[in-house]
Structure 1
Amino acid sequence: MTSSTHALPKTIYAIQHLAFEDLGILEDTFYDLGYRIRYFEAGMDDLKQAFEFEGLVIILGGPIGVYETEDYPFLNDEIAYLKQRLAKNLPTIGICLGAQLIAHALGAKVYAGHQKEIGWSQLKLNLAQNNPLLPLVNTEVLHWHGDTFDLPVQAELLASSAIYTNQAFRVGQNILALQFHVEVAADDMEKWLIGHTCELRKAGLNIPHLRAENEKFAVNLELKSPLVLEHFIKHLNV
């Protein structure tokens, strides 16, 4: 049985791992649908309340690795809470690091990839579904990661890229993991270019080129991103 948007609590919980990696364009979508947003800061706030929330929780991205628990001990609690949440099949979306945390919590391996994937490119979508969850055909999305993951055994693969096979998966109707950034707002990119300057320079990436790609592709993604969110919420089992 699917739900309407009225079946969910009217607050969305979002867990941040980096201040400028927020819900981006999805904030406007939630507001338009009548939801409020509450942010939790990983490493600072007690995440137990967030992960026990019966409404929708979105786990956002960040520059640390799932496996860096010695340097960032809060990850141990975050992963433990997430395992409990997924076992209850509570509505959960993971983006980038959030997707990796979901994969890890479901028993899959998360590890450093063979190369950085930073920039805009199209996805190879699994269109076998009657109602595709990702209406992103011929749409460039933003990739910004160095780690990747194996597909959890209980998951359905939704999308791949030219560099990494596992770019999106879902488990049932309530759990969605997106390695790429569907949330990025066109006018937020400068914060990313500033905040990630060390990573970009170490990887030898061309910052003016990334800025130009954002100007070319982000506006179109902003049109498609709300459709992903609306489809997910519409088909939740709650």
Structure 2
Amino acid sequence: MKKPVLLVVHQKHSDPGRIGMRLRTLGYPIEICRHACGDPLPESMDDYAGTVVFGGPMSANDDHEPYIRNELDWTPGVIESGTPYLGVCLGAQIMARAYGGSVAEHPEGQVEIGYYKIRATQAGEAWFPEEMCIFQWHREGLELPECATLLATSDHFQNQALGIGANGIGIQFHPEVTEQMNRRWLIGGAERLTLPGAQQPDEHHAGRAAHDPFVDDWVDGFLADWLKTDQR
């Protein structure tokens, strides 16, 4: 039996969505760690095939939160152990900060909430298609640490995906979000739809219909390839 993948989520009812479902389809059990709610992070990753650190409404700059400080301290140890690490949105920003990068709002107040186009860099062509429109929900972006490689970019937030070492990947976008999750976020985060650049609900629904079938096909291969980066 394959080792489980550790999924670190940041709210009591957070859902790993399509990533959790597809990992199970690939034959990996999943273990959910709600560290922000008190679950401890493992001291060793020996018992896990990899870890995915998901997003949340908090900021990677929230140093007053013990769980943010813990994840900043914990992340380099995971990556340097050779364990596959995938950071999604907040998880990518924590990854960047942990290695000396920064996280901040767009200088013009822009956000990405809805479907936006990303483009693979030459270094990222093994991971991402040349272009794809994919779901986003963030108001902060990240600056790359010196040790990172840019894997994908976009017009408003240049740094859309980063790699650290052979086994650490961070993505600013949300391949895990299902239609049900999208609708739930639109209700729970309705106030954010007034921010500059945010798409409105009808644009979300149209974007999902137009672009999500491609994302749905892409994500299985992406996750399988990511788990093959195990350097242990």
- With the length of structure 2 as denominator, give the TM-score of the two structures: 0.88
1:20 to 1:197, Cα distance in 2 relative to 1, 3 A: farther
- Give CA-to-partner distance per residue, 1:164-220, whole Å, 9 cap, x none: 111101112211111111222234311121222222245564222222222322222
1:74 equivalenced with 2:71 (yes/no): no
1:165 to 1:201, Cα distance in 2 relative to 1, 3 A: closer
Give the C-alpha shift of residue 74 in structure 1.
2.3
Unaligned ranges ≥5, structure 1: 1-5
Give the C-alpha shift of residue 103 in structure 1.
0.3
**Contact residue 118 and residue 145 of structure 1 kept, 8 A:** yes
1:106 equivalenced with 2:99 (yes/no): yes
RMSD: 2.2
| Aligned residue among 113, 120, 123 for 1:125 | 120
Residue 96 of structure 1 corresponds to which residue in structure 2?
89
1:212 to 1:83, Cα distance in 2 relative to 1, 3 A: same
1:181 equivalenced with 2:174 (yes/no): yes
Give the C-alpha shift of residue 20 in structure 1.
5.7
Please show how residues 43-54 of structure 1 align to structure 2 within 5 Å.
43-49=36-42, 52-54=44-46
1:151 equivalenced with 2:160 (yes/no): no
Residue 86 of structure 1 corresponds to which residue in structure 2?
79
Residue 10 of structure 1 corresponds to which residue in structure 2?
3
- Give CA-to-partner distance per residue, 1:77-120, whole Å, 9 cap, x none: 22222233234333211000000000011111112223111121
- With the length of structure 1 as denominator, give the TM-score of the two structures: 0.86
Name whichever of 103-112 and 13-22 sits farther off.
Answer: 13-22
SS of residue paired to 1:52: coil
Give the C-alpha shift of residue 29 in structure 1.
2.0
Unaligned ranges ≥5, structure 2: none
1:187 to 1:222, Cα distance in 2 relative to 1, 3 A: farther
Give the C-alpha shift of residue 38 in structure 1.
1.1
Q: Taking every aligned residue pair, what percent have the same amino acid on both sides?
A: 25
